[in-house]
Amino acid sequence: MNSSTRMRGFTAAIFVLAAITTALAEGPVTKPKESGFTSEGLARIDAYLKHEIDSNKLAGAIMMIQRNGETAYLSSVGVRDPGTKEPMTPNTIFRIYSMSKPITSVVAMMLVEEGKLQLDEPVSKYIPAFANLKVGVETKGEGGTTLDLVPANRPITIHDLFRHTSGLTYGFLGEGMVKQAYRDAHLFEGDFDNAEFAERIAKLPLAYQPGTTWDYSHSTDILGRVVEVISGKSLYQFEKERLLDPLGMKDTTFYVTDPAKKSLVAEALPDDRKIGDSDMFDPRVPKKWEPGGQGMLSTIGDYARFAQMLLNGGTLEGKRYLSPKTVAYMGSNHIGANTGIVPGRYYLPGPGYGFGLGFAVRTETGASAVEGSVGEMNWGGAGGTAFWLDPQEKMFVVFMAQAPSQRMRIRAALKNMVYGAMDK
């Protein structure tokens, strides 16, 4: 790759899918000196990913590191689909699962900036079925454990939806009688839209009193429905008009409807295609549901643009999407000690992390088992994808793979390797 191509393709805020495609066609992109990494350190990342593939832990992966306005690392390895053996390419489409949450949170904060939505408003203002909800409380007695329903002490607020303190939960994550009630409700049967899903959720008990406990949940799915009510449009239509199209995220959607692109969907290894007890969803089969917390698809190029916009404080290529103050507010810890909110039993951010509006935020360096900087914002998807922003280092990282069972181990290893590759 000659120097002029590099200058055109990898500047601080202006990189497009065409540049990524060209770069990967010519091999991994590394600019260690300019971006503050060692060549040896970055080479270890390539070797690690290739070993994972050779060990049948991954079918393929693609990863980007952008730091100090330079693309430090951009590489794809393995295959897109172990069935077809097609190679991993930059236009590969991934199920990003919970990496949908930051996208939904950003468009919801656009409504906050416009004065159309306030964080302290009750969700029932927009979805009446969320009024007068009950909280499930397990009581142990001589005859066994029973689930008692008690009134909620206060309404669920929009703030609760952003930060997973609503009392809503996920049926597939962990045990408990409320979680079992979620499983017994067969929430995902049939072809339903966001409005119907919200009605189904509202019929179930809360796992905790609103505003007391962080518990991973369908909160962002419900936030997506609130966006629909306010905008008068489907969640995807609003996201497409206000964020995805202007930002150039042309392959970020809920379903792959273009026949020419269906073969671009990445697939996991045959023995690694379940999340909990459910198979990974087939994005080639369109449905009405557009779950803002778990259902989107994207590419490395699309999500890199999204990450760069956030790292830039809400702007990309001269267009502003959010105020820098709004982005900083989203990246603040919204469940700190003064809120009275406690981490639940299944606190996914882990030690050293709080939670902001749509993603985890790092509050201290030493408590976590992985390296990083205070102020980092991150989240991942159950299918194997992950991203993080490190404002202190002026860096973002996007990793795309489909490997549900390997995701936590690989994320931790890659994070340590990225920071271990730095030389300044």
In a domain, 362, yes or no: yes
Report the candidate in 89, 153, 164 with the shortest Cα–Cα distance to residue 344: 164
Angle at 7 between CA 67 and CA 38, to 5 degrees: 40
Same domain, 280 and 385: yes
Res. 25: pLDDT tops 80: no
Burial status of residue 123 (CB atoms within 10 A of its CB: 0-12, 13-18, 19 or more): buried
How confident is residue 20, by pLDDT bands cut at 50, 70 and 90?
A: low
Task: Assign residue 145 the CATH number of its domain.
Answer: 1.20.58
Give Cα 266 to chain centroid, integer Å.
Answer: 17
Q: Tell me the C-alpha to C-alpha distance, in Å, between residue 34 and each of 5, 12, 45, 143, 422.
A: 16, 12, 18, 68, 11
Asked whether residue 114 is assigned to any structural domain, the reply reads no
13 has pLDDT over 90: no
The verdict on 280 and 332 lying in the same domain is: yes
126 and 28 in one domain? no
Q: Is the separation of the CB atoms in 204 and 181 below 8 Å?
A: yes
84 residue type, one letter: T
In 10 A of CB 134, how many CB atoms?
14
Shared-domain flag, residues 227 and 250: no
On the question of pLDDT at 19 being above 60, the answer is: no
What is the radius of gyration, based on Cα positions, of the chain?
Answer: 21
State whether 305 and 340 are in the same domain: yes
Residue 381 has pLDDT above 90, yes or no: yes
338: which DSSP letter? G
Residue pair 62/98 in contact by the 8 Å Cβ criterion: no
Residue 9: pLDDT above 50?
no
Residues 285 and 146 in one domain: no
Determine the pLDDT at residue 17. Answer: 45
**235 near 104, Cβ under 8 Å?**
yes
The dihedral through the CA atoms of 3, 5, 7, 13 has a sign that is negative
Give the lowest-confidence range in 28-32, 48-52, 188-192, 412-416. 28-32
Same domain? 48 vs 86: yes
Task: Show the domain range for 175.
Answer: 119-231
C-alpha to C-alpha distances, 96 to 64, 93, 295, 318, 384, nearest whole angstrom = 16, 9, 7, 27, 8
Q: CA 316: distance to chain centroid?
A: 20
- The total domain count for the chain is 2
User: Are both 295 and 371 inside the same structural domain?
Assistant: yes
Q: Are 65 and 36 in contact, with CB atoms under 8 Å apart? A: no
Across the range 31-54, mean pLDDT stands at 92
Average pLDDT over residues 287-314: 97
Give the pLDDT score at 413. Answer: 98
Residues 210 and 155 sit within 8 Å (Cβ to Cβ): yes
Q: What is the CATH number of the domain that holds 384?
A: 3.40.710.10
Q: Among the three residues 203, 231, 259, which one is the final residue of a domain in this structure?
A: 231
**Of 115, 124, 105, residue with least CA distance to 164:** 105
210 assigned to some structural domain = yes
Are 307 and 408 contained in the same domain?
A: yes
Same-domain status, 93 and 206:
no
Residue 169 sits in the same domain as residue 243: no
Lowest-pLDDT range of 38-42, 241-245, 353-357, 359-363: 38-42
Mean local confidence (pLDDT), 237-245: 98
The verdict on 271 and 413 lying in the same domain is yes
Residue 408 lies in a domain: yes
Predicted confidence (pLDDT) at residue 16 exceeds the cutoff of 50: no
**Integer CA distances (angstroms), 176 to 43, 181, 198, 240, 293, in order:** 45, 9, 22, 38, 22
The single-letter code of the amino acid at 383 is: G
Q: Does residue 299 sit within a domain? A: yes
Confidence of residue 1 (pLDDT cuts 50, 70, 90): very low
pLDDT at 143: 78
Single residue among 231, 249, 268 that ends a domain in this structure? 231
Question: How many C-beta atoms surround the C-beta of residue 142 within 10 A?
Answer: 4
Per-residue pLDDT averaged across 191-218, rounded? Answer: 98
What does the pLDDT read at residue 32? 73
> Phi, psi at residue 285, to the nearest 5°?
-110, 95
Phi, psi for 380 (deg, rounded to 5): -135, 175
pLDDT digits (tens, 9 = 90+) for 92-145: 999 999 999 999 999 999 999 999 999 999 999 999 999 999 999 999 888 788
The answer to whether position 112 is within a domain reads no
Say if residue 21's pLDDT is above 90. Answer: no
Residues near 312 by beta carbon (within 8 Å), at least 6 away in sequence: 13
Q: How many Cα atoms within 13 Å fall on the side-chain side of residue 86?
A: 15
Rounded to an integer, the average pLDDT of 7-19 is 39
Of 231, 261, 280, the residue that ends a domain is 231
CA 198 vs CA 291, 295, 302, 351: distances in Å: 10, 15, 29, 32
Residue 34's pLDDT is what? Answer: 81
**Confidence class of residue 336 from pLDDT cuts 50, 70 and 90?**
very high
Please answer whether residues 244 and 301 qualify as being in contact, where contact means their C-beta atoms are separated by less than 8 angstroms: no
Residue 258 tokens read as 């273009």
The whole-number average pLDDT for the span 341-348 is: 95
Regarding beta strands 377-380 and 360-362, do their DSSP bridges make them parallel or antiparallel, or are they unpaired? antiparallel
Of 424 and 334, the structure prediction assigns the larger pLDDT to: 334
Provide the 3-class DSSP secondary structure of residue 350: coil
One-letter amino acid of 23: A
| CA–CA separation, 183 and 79 (whole Å) | 35
pTM over 0.85: yes
Is there a contact between 387 and 360 (Cβ–Cβ < 8 Å)? Answer: no
Q: Are 310 and 105 in contact (CB under 8 A)?
A: no
Give domain status of residue 113, yes or no.
no
Contact 227, 235 (CB under 8 A): yes
Over 90: is that where the pLDDT of 187 sits? yes
**pLDDT value of residue 33:** 74
Tell me, yes or no, whether 13 lies in a domain. Answer: yes
Distance CA 140, CA 125 (A): 36
Q: What is the mean pLDDT of the chain?
A: 92
pLDDT over threshold 50, residue 63: yes
